Structures are given as C-alpha cells and as structure tokens.
Structure 1
Amino acid sequence: MRFLRALGLLALVVTVAGCGGSKFRTYDGPEVTRIHVLKGQRQLLLMHGPYALKAYEIGLGWAPEGDKQVEGDGRTPEGHYLIDKRNPNSKYHLSIGISYPDPRDMAEAQALGFSPGGDIFIHGRGPSYERGSPRDWTWGCIAVTDDEIEEIYAMVKDGTPISIHP
C-alpha cells in the first residue's frame, strides 16, 4: 500500500512539474536558414531557403532611422551578421546575440573617434516593459514579445545568418 501511495505521489509531482510552463521550448520543424530584419516595416522574418516560416512585428532602437554608427546612438545596426550567442538569463526574458560589430562597423566608429558599441540582441520585453511604451525603445536591439522570443530562441541556431535591412 505504501508503495502504491508513493508511486501515486511521484506521478502527481511529475504531472505538476510538466505543467510549469518553461520558457525553453523545443522545435522540430524546418531549419531556419536565415533571418531577415526589415527595419522600415518593423518586421523580422525567419526563413527556410526562399520561404518565410514565421514573421514577427518588432521594436528597434529608440532612434530607428539609419545605421548604427557609435555606442549609445540608439540605432539598430544594418548589415549582414551571424547569430553568435545566447543569454538564457537575459533581463529581457531570453535573448540571442548578433555578431555586431564587424570590422566595417569598427572602422566607421573609429573614424568618428568613438566605440561602435556591442551587445546587440534579439530579445523579449522582460518584466520591466510597460504596456503603452513606445514601439522603438531599445538601445539598438530588436525586441519581440516574451512568447515570441521563446519561439525564436528554440527555432534559431547559433551560426544562423541575419541580414538587417533599412
């Protein structure tokens, strides 16, 4: 009888733990082969070859027009990069890193006498985001909802190319 009670309790614990709602999802669909960010349309596309698998509305840096030139300018970079890191403990829920700055970005900033900055990510909103905040609110990152970054985090692998267009 004790054994059956312990087994029942174990089954209950496993069932409840499975309903915990982890922010880490799994994905077994087609591979994401490229990300396109269309800044003017405020859209992020996850591509499989020539086909869009998913599209997301995005927020950009607080000064969204133009290419990022220097640290602190509030712009989102434009160009071709790679997804190069992940932050499962991001203060913006989850985040995946973009390989900005590249050598061209560094040379542009140095010619102006400044640092190009760094730490450009695709990330969620996190707990400090307030409803009604401006659409473009980051320091140069690409923002989606927390639910959307969970999906993107699962679908996109490190090394995936990302093209950020004006």
Structure 2
Amino acid sequence: MKIKILLGLAGISAAFLMSGCGEPRAYGKVDNTPYPTQECRQQLSRGTEIDHSQKIDKIVVYKKKRKLYAYRNGKKIYEFRISLGKNGDKGNKIQAGDYRTPEGSYCIVRKKCDPRLYRSLMISYPNAADKARAKAKGVKTGGYITIHGQPKWNADGHADRYTLAHDWTEGCMAVSNKAMTALWRAVQNGVKIDIHA
C-alpha cells in the first residue's frame, strides 16, 4: 500500500515538473483549487474564444525588458509585462530543468484551458536549433513552454504587482490574467512568436 502511494506521489510530482511551469510560492497563501475549465474547453471546441476583430499575427518578447508585444499587420496592439523562468537572466534555455526561458523563433501550436495557471498558449519549443544544441551537449531539451496567466490564488490580480516583478516560472512567460484574456481572444494557432534576450 505504501509503495502504491509513493508511486502515485512520484507520478504527480513528475507530471508537475514536466509541465514546464510552476507557481510562485513566496507570496501569501496558495489556493490549490483549480480553475474551472469546462466553459473554456467548450469555447475552444466551437472556436468561439476568438474575437476576429482583435486578431494578432505576431508576438515579440524581450526577456531583458520583461515585455511581450502583440502586433497586427506591423502595428503594436498590446504591450504586457511578463515574468520569466526563475533563471531568466542566465541566457537561452539549454535543457530540461534549467528554469530558463528559450530564445528564438517559434509559433503558437496549442491553446490550453489550464486548471492550474489561468489559460495558456503553448509555443513550438524546441525548434530544430534547440534540438541540435541540446544534442551537442548530450542533454534533453525539455518542452511544454507556454505563455500563461496567473495561479488560482492570484485569479483576481491582487498580487500582480508581486508576481510580475519576479521571475518564478520553470521557463514559461507569465502575464496577468487580464493580459491572458486579451491574448486568448486574439491568438490563433500558427501565430509567430520571436523571443529575444
């Protein structure tokens, strides 16, 4: 019985670590209640989450500035503050578990109704260059890098000032839930994203 429990806990821990992003643990009481996702999933299945009048065609991230910009036909539509991986200042992502945010050219490949971190946009990391770099070093690239919103304990944005002033993810780019809602309505799969140092 103890072995089954330990294996179950190990599996949960592994799934959490493989997810690509964690939660900030240095502020207030953590609410482990998940976000409801049924309505979100229904919108995705019908394609009704997109506001076609607000669609964007490119995202550009500058890690050093902690900024994400969204464009339509070359015109900046949105500018959002972001948090990065815990080692966001230590260069490009090299391998799984290094807590760095990747740099390079990618695209949005999936929208996810995330029960832990208010909605997420998965990027196409690792690309060919990332895979080649990791192979040369004999390491695994990792994956599941996203742009996502806040953990449930900050669903109302009361701690945005804190969470957006610190790097706390496992490599993802975190925005406020308000920003995530805007991106969610504006982004379709295939939108290009360039991430710069």
TM-score band, normalised by shorter chain: 0.7 to 0.9
Determine whether 1:51 maps to 2:75: yes
**Structure 2 residue aligned with 1:71:** 96
Counterpart of 2:73, as a letter, is G
Please give the residue correspondences for 1:113-152 in structure 2 after superposition, counting only pairs within 5 Å: 113-128=138-153, 131=159, 132-133=162-163, 135-152=166-183
In structure 2, what is the Cα distance between the partners aligned to 1:113 and 1:26?
41
Give the TM-score of the pair, scaled to structure 2.
0.68
Give 1:154 shift: 1.0
**Structure 1 residue aligned with 2:30:** none
In structure 1, what is the Cα distance between the partners aligned to 2:53 and 2:100?
33
In structure 1, what is the Cα distance between the partners aligned to 2:54 and 2:119?
22
- Helix, strand or coil for the counterpart of 1:148? helix
Counterpart of 2:106, as a letter, is Y
Larger Rg: 1
Once the two structures are superposed, residues 14-36 of structure 1 have per-residue CA deviations (whole angstroms, 9 ceiling, x without a partner) of xxxxxxxx777552424311000
Counterpart of 2:64, as a letter, is G
Q: How has the CA–CA distance of structure 1 residues 156 and 26 changed in structure 2, closer, same or farther, with 3 Å as cutoff? A: closer
Segments of 5+ residues of structure 1 without an aligned counterpart are 1-21
Give the TM-score of the pair, scaled to structure 1.
0.80
Moved more, 121-130 or 138-147: 121-130
- Helix, strand or coil for the counterpart of 2:152? coil
- Number of aligned residues: 145
More helix by share: 2
- Helix, strand or coil for the counterpart of 1:29? helix
Please give the residue correspondences for 1:34-113 in structure 2 after superposition, counting only pairs within 5 Å: 34-65=58-89, 66-113=91-138
In structure 2, what is the Cα distance between the partners aligned to 1:63 and 1:111?
22
- Helix, strand or coil for the counterpart of 1:54? strand
Calculate the aligned-residue CA RMSD, in Å.
Answer: 1.9
In structure 2, what is the Cα distance between the partners aligned to 1:49 and 1:77?
25
In structure 1, what is the Cα distance between the partners aligned to 2:55 and 2:118?
23
Give 1:75 shift: 0.6
Once the two structures are superposed, residues 102-126 of structure 1 have per-residue CA deviations (whole angstroms, 9 ceiling, x without a partner) of 1110111121111000000000012
